[in-house]
Amino acid sequence: MTFRSLTLTTVTAAFLALSAAATAQAADADKVKLGFAKCAHCLPMALTPELAKGVEIEAINFNSGNDVLTALVSKSIDMAQVTYLHYITALDKGFDVVAVSGQVNGGSEIVVGKGITLKADDWDGLKKLIAERKEKGEPLRVAASRGNAQDIHMRGALQKHGINVNKDVQFINIPNPSDHAAALQRGEVDVICTVEPFASQIRQTGVGTHFALPYDQAAGNLTNLIVTRSDVIKEHPKAVEATVGSVVALVDKLKSDQTVWVDVINKYTGMDKAVAAEALKNASPDYAIHKDSTLAIATMMRELKYISNDVTAAAEKNLDYTFLEAVTKKPKSELGF
């Protein structure tokens, strides 16, 4: 082999190696690991891979939003469906999270167990019952999955009606929402704020009855957000935009056809399709990011001593409408800003 041919061979090999590396890098940039939780509103995220264009999405199911957030901040996944509550909590802890889209709101319900005879929305009756139990030394046992949207919805609603969860009742944390029905059935708790489709399951099986939808507080019915990290945005902006595009397509699909929604709930939870359909009566597909309500949630969570810092400035700064604007062709003033 002559020196010239050796040089050409070396250059060619180097070029091919660089090309291969560039191809591999491009392929990596087009792949996104997307985590989502197990609730009626979250499970449609399993449909995003088939709606994706320009990105390969690996949708990964977790038991709860807390698990999804942990996976995101530990860099096990690239993007996550969590809640507005998780977003604020993450900022309070100094984690790097950026909200890039909404998804579905609603899904919270307060139910009471057998033996608790309260009419729907009878808050005066609930306060009277709480006072009677306190006098007996048997505080009312109120449960939720601490850290989930239903927990903060309930705490805010109770506060609105003059009930302090930390002083007036005995709060019981049941981390996995799929355990709520059993806890109520066994009489281990009296009241639960749970998430769909488990709320519908509790009502339809007679384990508990409806008391209230806890939307009379700063968070309203806001629940789900799509978040990522700043390093993912910096290194893979097109993949983030394409993933937001699949979420927007999903929201549009859910608004027009709930059949696929019912099917995916049935697939992941094993629940009857009638229960799944009932759960969707308390659901609102929505890809907007609601800035003013987000800041109100941050303030409410601090007042409830759920977080220790004022994160309102960070909460506004880390709302990134860039991708929603690019996908929907709408200004952020029409996207919740």
pLDDT, tens digit (0-9, with 9 covering 90-100), for 274-313: 999 999 999 999 999 999 999 999 999 999 888 999 999 9
State whether the Cα torsion 127-133-137-141 is positive or negative. negative
Residues near 279 by beta carbon (within 8 Å), at least 6 away in sequence: 40, 107, 196, 197, 199, 200, 265
DSSP at 319: B
DSSP at 117: -
What pLDDT band is residue 6 in, cutting at 50, 70 and 90? very low
Give yes or no for a contact between 213 and 109, defined as CB atoms under 8 angstroms apart: yes
Q: Whole-number mean pLDDT of the chain? A: 91
Kindly report the number of other CB atoms within 10 A of residue 95's CB atom: 17
pLDDT at 147: 83
State whether the Cα torsion 215-220-225-231 is positive or negative. negative
What pLDDT band is residue 19 in, cutting at 50, 70 and 90? very low
Kindly report the number of other CB atoms within 10 A of residue 260's CB atom: 15
| Residue 3 or residue 284, greater confidence | 284
Could you give the C-alpha distances from 304 to 48, 53, 189, in angstroms and in order? 35, 42, 22
- Work out the average pLDDT over 176-199: 95
pLDDT at 240: 97
pLDDT at 164: 93
**Which residues, listed in sequence order, are joined to residue 57 by a DSSP beta bridge?**
32
pLDDT at 16: 43
Give yes or no for a contact between 52 and 244, defined as CB atoms under 8 angstroms apart: no
- Work out the average pLDDT over 143-157: 92
- Work out the average pLDDT over 156-169: 94
Structure tokens at 171: 């709060």
**For residue 8, pLDDT beyond 90:** no
What pLDDT band is residue 64 in, cutting at 50, 70 and 90? confident
- Work out the average pLDDT over 152-165: 94
DSSP at 175: S
- Work out the average pLDDT over 304-327: 96
What pLDDT band is residue 38 in, cutting at 50, 70 and 90? confident
Range of lowest pLDDT (18-32, 49-63, 127-141, 226-240): 18-32
| Residue 257 or residue 185, greater confidence | 185
Residues 120-128: contacts with CB under 8 Å, at least 24 apart: 120/210, 120/211, 120/212, 121/211, 121/212, 122/211, 123/161, 123/212, 126/161, 126/163, 126/211, 127/161, 127/162, 127/163
Residues near 186 by beta carbon (within 8 Å), at least 6 away in sequence: none
What pLDDT band is residue 115 in, cutting at 50, 70 and 90? confident
Q: Which of 222, 214, 213 is nearest to 287 (CA)?
A: 222
- Work out the average pLDDT over 138-146: 96
Residue 90 burial (C-beta neighbours within 10 Å; 0-12, 13-18, 19+)? buried
What pLDDT band is residue 24 in, cutting at 50, 70 and 90? very low
